[in-house]
Amino acid sequence: MGMNSGANIDLATAVWQRAGESADGESVEVAMLAEGHVGLRDGKDPDGPALIFTPSEWTAFVAGVQDGEFDRPE
């Protein structure tokens, strides 16, 4: 099941890869999809919903991660 904004992306053939794993076993999975879209889902719930990013949304998300925009406060 995809949560996308009008994009007609088929997740049935997506190849999901773990993005990493934390010390407590939490992980996310990513898939490179058609037309440059990127899928992101909870690694513990592969049958659950997936977020679908357009290429520009993914670029903005990655830039935010690199800039520390999503870092937890210390």
- Here the tokens at position 19 are 């993005």
pLDDT of amino acid 2: 44
pLDDT of amino acid 22: 67
- The sign one gets for the Cα dihedral 44, 45, 47, 49 is negative
The domain locations on the chain are: 15-66
pLDDT of amino acid 10: 84
Q: What is the pTM of this model?
A: 0.76
Low-confidence ranges of the chain (pLDDT < 70): 1-7, 21-23, 25
